[in-house]
Structure 1
């Protein structure tokens, strides 16, 4: 990310983003190299395609739906005399590193062609209908998806053999797609086969288990097992719950109860494939809008988060069975996504070698990730450390703050005073209801974030002042507990930029949402920042192969955002806050390519702040207490592991890994280690000096946005 300083004489206007297709963000880098598309993808005509993943591993997927261990309902909300929110099964797609030869030759389940999961979950007509209802266009959703993405498939291979090789010491930025499917040496102290870290992803409103397939697949291509849960809480467009046959159980009191279990034939199920559509709050369908006077439906959103947390637990338990060597009897034999069941592929889990999955990934030190409402779900998991003791860090993408609590009452008061709306009041109400819906004996949560946290915002959401204040309070909360936390904004992005929608519909996002970042480059920044974060905070032994395969791009080294840096340039009108951006002189920009070419030439020299705004980063003392140190000149905050604290990383560096980039003395300027981190943390933002916590809110960015509101009308002409 760091690059030579730009000529200060260049006009400020040239720093404006020019949009997708030319110079997306001033000085932005090109997307990572990826393998070429297959023949099938090239013949797709109008069908959109997803780019292949950039990491050194091929990617495999498994579709799993198994009955819940503890089925139950959440809240007393009913429609048609039936509880709306019920936990009966858990559905997920598992993305994982594939072995050499994945996608070539004969597949392990027989036949001659490899199968790939469809991006639009099956049954595709049903899902398209659900999306139409969610988007308010009704049956028009079917032809819209039919001509664009109904036949789009993930660039991952169904039931591919699990990788057992270490990745090469190649950088895809320099070696391109040739790094794919090559092996590297076993690092000193490493096992014969790598043991992969485990990530669990929670989708946002309107999402599915495949909505974020590029993000999840990218992590898998760098050597991680990623579980993308499909929530059945009425937050997705449409999902289907399969059931096995009914069995009658007798309780100790002699009363009979019915339960659904897996049987020999799907025809035995009495209610096979029941659909779960998106739930619009009664009398308040737009409760997620920043301009909604009625606020958030507290009871519904709290119950949904409680159900989501239970689904994450069930998914984690299923993965524990797999790595414990029980994949055949506990997963394969009970899987409800196989031939004859609603929404299933005829292949099911055929061809999986369950023996290779034994002890193949870590079940401790798990990372939880989420987007929007899924990010709020991740935060609530962090606040229940006894229940989710296996979660050790979190990454939140464009969090919807109304569904989480502020750090404390003082932060709530501060935010309400400066934001002028009730977002944080609503978030506290939702969180209180979450714990009221917990099952007996479940951890009620401490309300404190005491684990490392990375928050990545879109530019569109960063203009939502009350929501941004909430995210700041979360980062400050982690910092107050001596945990490293980062908060940054990816410039030119909108709320869907972290999902597959921006990749499949880039022109629509550019024209209607005013997205100016290249969608693939925006994805790269999110992936790079997440990998850098995990290299710093995750257990070292979990990241040996990831450290080698994915060199740091320096996203987290970006300097803190300085005042007056044009942060309101793309701020939209108030009625469009959080939904879209604004492109100054849009008509001239879109229809004068010569002007765009000149602008691209003038902004060729980039610096870190051209692609991201860094709002919050750890103080040096926090990093040292966490076993890290600070290098650099006070502008680019580089982190290094002291040899006495993380000796294994030093050994990995000798093997050619990326750890050497972090551990080197200085930053190339001849300056050594020091305490510049404190200076960097206070530069341009109102963060408390000394120690490791942000004792005052970082309100500089929010203040500038609010000050720009008065002149919004002038800017929008």
Structure 2
């Protein structure tokens, strides 16, 4: 989340900042110099085909092919790496020999994309989140479970109670899912569930009859799998009005106007995801390849809807279909200050639409705006509570606390089975996030919060392990986010088919990812190798450097691949830049690939949903220059390319053909490296909070006129074809700066691996 406003800029002429980031210990300082950081080209959106796709052809007798070994997308232009002897960084250039990539023959147009959920009437009027661009639909479920060992962290207290208490763990899961089932009148869709039922009963004649459809509805009503009547979760966590008040408290602004504005504009905003939908069996490919080439010979025709064609061969049985089901890699996401399990839904959902299961934590460490903790049962004596039984006078004498104990409201003479956790301001140092705060960061509080966050991540991983081991029903029984509990949806986990989740997760080589304070948490997780042996790489999104714990020994230095994506606003915060740079250099010195990049024209909230929900405020108040949706694209595409190079091939082989990998954000660039520009460096007061736009009125007026008079051919577009134009557009190849990148021999050749 953005730091407060009283902030100071770095001196562009100071050492360690004015020159290119490097491993060299000596960095010359020259007045008015600009760092010659290598820049990295950006991938543009998929180009539209010059000719419309050909209509599907009926199946022809032909030899069978194994589409698991079919040629993927042609590789990106080969990257050659040269070393800059003075700077010590890698400059990656594109070889002109390979030319521009072309599409494989089996794909006539842009990659298959999942159908976007239809916008509601309220979303057409108020703010809406963009649909996901990947080939898979996105599902969503929420879980809150008691932890194995309730406990407290640190001796910090508020209102007479320990402030950092771990009673339950709460997180949302974004996952690839099957979309809602449609029932056209003219064509009956052959679903896998109906295939299993018809094959088991031997009654194929009535598979598309009214009786068959009625049986589907009965199965769904009885709690069996089925995606009829799916709903979409709201973006604001429940209770929504209370959440709005929590954001007003976090922003330290009057509650009435802030909460009212938030409620009016985002109360009815919904995620482009389906609650409790069925886990997807696998990625849809072009044409009949959804179930392999055998589909042509086993009764499926090449149509947009897999209609049944009665062929001479039987349809695959349930065991065969189960064997073909995809297994998904896992990402755990940690939010920043003021965040929640839904604040980063755009990035989390995008990654899920490309074949990942993303676990979005909601930390209860006092770093979120507001969250509710449901207590298991009605026992008032959870061992983590450790209530302070002393009187107020005794407490004030001992620790100087001036807080008064707040008695929780009682209902029918009993304590409410939940409690609320608001943002925890550091005592006597409420604005410790300011870059040049004289008191600095409240180290005691932030380290204790990171320790609790790590414990929550371990608990979430334990729950994933139980689900993967076939204990999903037990998880559902213990889940506290159910009808009647605070902050819960009435649907709870109704509709989840836990058998589908058994054995479907890759629980080794898990990716840790986080934004801002979540980036600091990610760095600490990478350091604690003995506690997180199952984490294999990390992605830092505009990490809060001063809050990162430093390595206390050689054993705790980062030795896992890392990608740090920063905003231009945070790049001008010298201390933060150097702390993140040192994290990346730790990994590089350990001999593992590491990257550090900056998205031009972006601000700290570019990775959060606030940027796409409130783009005008982002532009006017924070002076964001890049289109918010384009910034999300650059975050996601950089992460996908990084994961393609660091994850084992078996984790992404079924999905990576559909990943946007036209040019290569981390492995290819065009032309010579450009220097980092300080044209938009803010004044001392606004460092890290926003950018500065010289001649702002003139620039906005010229940009407005340009959009209406000149075609935007070279500007990336969203899935609807709308240009993603920002206040300043640098063009493909100039949207990202690279500060640190590995040598060529340190980076796996993704193109050759795919071949």
Q: TM-score normalised to the size of structure 1?
A: 0.71
Any residues of structure 2 matched to 1:142-157 within 5 Å, and which? 142-157=259-274
Deviation at 1:142, TM superposition (A): 1.7
Deviation at 1:470, TM superposition (A): 1.3
Find 2:420's aligned residue among 275, 294, 299: 275
Cα 1:600–1:447, aligned 2, differ >3 Å: closer, same or farther?
A: farther
Deviation at 1:590, TM superposition (A): 1.7
Query: Is 2:513 the partner of 1:389?
Result: no
In the alignment of these two chains, the number of paired residues is 547
Find 2:740's aligned residue among 613, 616, 619: 616
Q: Distance in 1 between matches of 2:710 and 2:282?
A: 45
> What secondary structure, in the 3-state scheme, does the structure 2 residue paired with 1:555 have?
coil
Where does residue 418 of structure 1 map in the other structure?
none
Find 2:689's aligned residue among 579, 601, 604: 579
* Structure 1, unaligned runs of 5 or more: 1-24, 171-177, 252-256, 259-265, 406-427, 433-443, 630-638, 642-648, 650-658, 661-717
Query: Is 2:485 the partner of 1:341?
Result: yes
Deviations 1:630-676 (Å, cap 9, x if unpaired)? xxxxxxxxx544xxxxxxx4xxxxxxxxx34xxxxxxxxxxxxxxxx
Where does residue 130 of structure 1 map in the other structure?
246
Determine if contact 1:64/1:93 at 8 Å carries over to the other structure.
yes
> What secondary structure, in the 3-state scheme, does the structure 1 residue paired with 2:326 have?
coil
Where does residue 148 of structure 2 map in the other structure?
69
CA RMSD of aligned residues (A): 3.4
Cα 1:513–1:391, aligned 2, differ >3 Å: closer, same or farther?
A: same
Q: Distance in 2 between matches of 1:179 and 1:499?
A: 38
Cα 1:595–1:152, aligned 2, differ >3 Å: closer, same or farther?
A: closer
* Larger Rg, first or second structure (1 or 2): 2
> What secondary structure, in the 3-state scheme, does the structure 1 residue paired with 2:123 have?
coil
Deviation at 1:534, TM superposition (A): 0.6
Q: Distance in 2 between matches of 1:182 and 1:74?
A: 55
Higher helix share: 1
Determine if contact 1:452/1:485 at 8 Å carries over to the other structure.
yes
Cα 1:238–1:384, aligned 2, differ >3 Å: closer, same or farther?
A: same
Where does residue 629 of structure 2 map in the other structure?
520
Where does residue 316 of structure 1 map in the other structure?
461
Deviations 1:110-132 (Å, cap 9, x if unpaired)? 79742221111000111100000
Any residues of structure 2 matched to 1:193-592 within 5 Å, and which? 193-246=325-378, 270-329=415-474, 331-405=475-549, 428=550, 446-553=555-662, 554-559=664-669, 565=675, 567-592=677-702
Where does residue 92 of structure 1 map in the other structure?
171
Determine if contact 1:243/1:272 at 8 Å carries over to the other structure.
yes
Where does residue 399 of structure 2 map in the other structure?
none
Deviations 1:510-566 (Å, cap 9, x if unpaired)? 111111111111111111111111111101110112212213141112549977735
> What secondary structure, in the 3-state scheme, does the structure 2 residue paired with 1:370 have?
strand
> What secondary structure, in the 3-state scheme, does the structure 2 residue paired with 1:379 have?
helix
> What secondary structure, in the 3-state scheme, does the structure 1 residue paired with 2:584 have?
helix
Which segment is superposed worse, 606-615 or 85-94?
606-615
Q: TM-score normalised to the size of structure 2?
A: 0.67
> What secondary structure, in the 3-state scheme, does the structure 2 residue paired with 1:295 have?
coil
Cα 1:445–1:498, aligned 2, differ >3 Å: closer, same or farther?
A: farther
Determine if contact 1:589/1:596 at 8 Å carries over to the other structure.
no
Cα 1:365–1:36, aligned 2, differ >3 Å: closer, same or farther?
A: closer
Q: Distance in 2 between matches of 1:599 and 1:507?
A: 22
Determine if contact 2:138/2:349 at 8 Å carries over to the other structure.
yes
Determine if contact 2:150/2:382 at 8 Å carries over to the other structure.
no
Deviation at 1:244, TM superposition (A): 1.8
Cα 1:606–1:136, aligned 2, differ >3 Å: closer, same or farther?
A: closer
Deviation at 1:141, TM superposition (A): 2.5
Q: Distance in 1 between matches of 2:123 and 2:279?
A: 29
Cα 1:180–1:47, aligned 2, differ >3 Å: closer, same or farther?
A: farther
Q: Distance in 1 between matches of 2:382 and 2:448?
A: 29
> What secondary structure, in the 3-state scheme, does the structure 2 residue paired with 1:365 have?
strand
Determine if contact 2:115/2:137 at 8 Å carries over to the other structure.
no
Deviations 1:313-372 (Å, cap 9, x if unpaired)? 00000010001000101x100000001100001110011111010001111110010000
Any residues of structure 2 matched to 1:5-20 within 5 Å, and which? none
Deviation at 1:609, TM superposition (A): 4.1
Q: Distance in 2 between matches of 1:249 and 1:566?
A: 57
> What secondary structure, in the 3-state scheme, does the structure 2 residue paired with 1:364 have?
strand
Where does residue 213 of structure 2 map in the other structure?
none
Deviation at 1:465, TM superposition (A): 1.3
Q: Distance in 2 between matches of 1:94 and 1:577?
A: 35
> What secondary structure, in the 3-state scheme, does the structure 1 residue paired with 2:332 have?
strand
Deviation at 1:41, TM superposition (A): 2.9
Deviation at 1:100, TM superposition (A): 4.4
More contact order relative to length (CA 8 Å, sep ≥ 6) = 2
Cα 1:327–1:124, aligned 2, differ >3 Å: closer, same or farther?
A: same
Determine if contact 2:482/2:490 at 8 Å carries over to the other structure.
yes
Determine if contact 1:56/1:181 at 8 Å carries over to the other structure.
no
Q: Distance in 1 between matches of 2:671 and 2:163?
A: 45
Q: Distance in 2 between matches of 1:69 and 1:78?
A: 23
Q: Distance in 2 between matches of 1:250 and 1:500?
A: 35
